[in-house]
Amino acid sequence: MSGSSATEARPRRHRTTALGGILLTPRQRQALSVASIAGALFLWWGLTRIGLINPVLLPSPGEVFDSFVSSSLDGSLPRHVWASLLRVIEGFVLALAIALPVGVAMGMSQVVRGIVEPLIELIRPIPPIAIIPIAMLWFGIGEFSKVFIIMYGAFFPILVNTMAGFREVDPIHIRAAQTLGATRLQIFRDVILRSAFPYMVVGARLGMGLAFIVLVAAELIASSVGLGYLINDARYRFRTDEILLGMVCIGILGFLLNKLLLEADRRIVRWRAARERQG
């Protein structure tokens, strides 16, 4: 009886990660996320409420919400959001369709990497903003020029991470599969691809973030609809509430698309999700 009482009195120890940090449950992580966003909103509201910041330069959350309601009712905000979202998805999918097979080929073949890598390293430092003039000359100011610029921005993170994932596959795992009689297709599907997939997801997430950055740059220069156009037009009219509204919309879209990529990673790589639950 005394032994059980001592066990019950012993403080419960937190589960820790491999690096020694506290391992949180999904519900605890969600609670921290909600608290973080709520705290940031409260700080924003407090700074504008007590008058430490000029409300013309930083409107309160209430003013931004009022702008959201009015622009949603007149249909302008949904039109801007849909135009930007469609451009990002088209450019991102196009970047995936090109970068993934090229990255796989470069990661698995030294010959392909020797041919392609010098060209990639020459082009990769060129910022997407520098591509905007040439894209407008090649494709005009229509939709495809914007999609092309977004594709260019998202392409390199996906390519580099995909190539790194296939190069970092442990040869011991491949030899073990060969010893067990696995075919080349099975080794590629069950060993190489599974090992490289987390790298590919990281590259896709980075590419998605850059796609939004490039989107705004493209829409600031040559567009009549979109969140970038909304921000630029609000700047000319000195409507900081609409500027912040466009920024918030971009942040929310990026957050949701990033969550979709993480969910795809979790569902496809189920073994890693199970390992994380076990700590």
From the list 226, 254, 242, the residue with the least C-alpha distance to 82 is 226
Query: What's residue 167's pLDDT?
Result: 83
Same domain (yes/no): 26, 108 = no
- Domain ranges, residue 134: 61-278
Those residues of the chain that have pLDDT short of 50 are 1-3, 5-11, 276-279
From the list 231, 209, 255, 244, the residue with the least C-alpha distance to 41 is 244
Do the domain assignments include residue 226? yes
Same domain (yes/no): 180, 269 = yes
Residue 13 gets the label, from left (phi > 0), alpha (psi -120 to 50) or beta, of beta
Structure tokens at 167: 């190069």
Do the domain assignments include residue 5? no
Same domain (yes/no): 39, 76 = no
Contacts of 7 (CB under 8 A, 6+ apart): none
Do the domain assignments include residue 6? no
Same domain (yes/no): 237, 145 = yes
Same domain (yes/no): 20, 124 = no
From the list 147, 134, 48, the residue with the least C-alpha distance to 97 is 147
Q: CA dihedral in degrees (29, 31, 33, 35; nearest 10)?
A: -150
Amino acid letter, 92 = F
Residue 191 phi, psi (nearest 5): -115, -60
Do the domain assignments include residue 9? no
Same domain (yes/no): 124, 192 = yes
Answer yes or no: are the C-beta atoms of 161 and 200 closer than 8 Å. Answer: yes
Same domain (yes/no): 131, 31 = no
Same domain (yes/no): 45, 84 = no
Same domain (yes/no): 100, 137 = yes
Answer yes or no: are the C-beta atoms of 107 and 166 closer than 8 Å. Answer: yes
Same domain (yes/no): 118, 202 = yes
Query: What's residue 269's pLDDT?
Result: 65
Q: CA dihedral in degrees (215, 249, 63, 58; nearest 10)?
A: -50
Structure tokens at 82: 């849909």
Do the domain assignments include residue 3? no
Amino acid letter, 128 = P
Same domain (yes/no): 40, 173 = no
pTM of this structure:
0.78
DSSP per residue over 46-75, as a string? HHHHTTSS-TTTS--HHHHHHHHHHHHHTT
Number of domains comprising the chain: 2
Query: What is the spatial distance between Cα 36 and Cα 207, in angstroms, rounded to a whole number?
Result: 25
Same domain (yes/no): 108, 130 = yes
- 176-211 residue pLDDT tens: 887 877 778 877 877 888 888 888 888 888 898 888
Do the domain assignments include residue 123? yes
Do the domain assignments include residue 72? yes
Do the domain assignments include residue 169? yes
Query: What's residue 1's pLDDT?
Result: 47
Domain at 149, CATH number: 1.10.3720.10
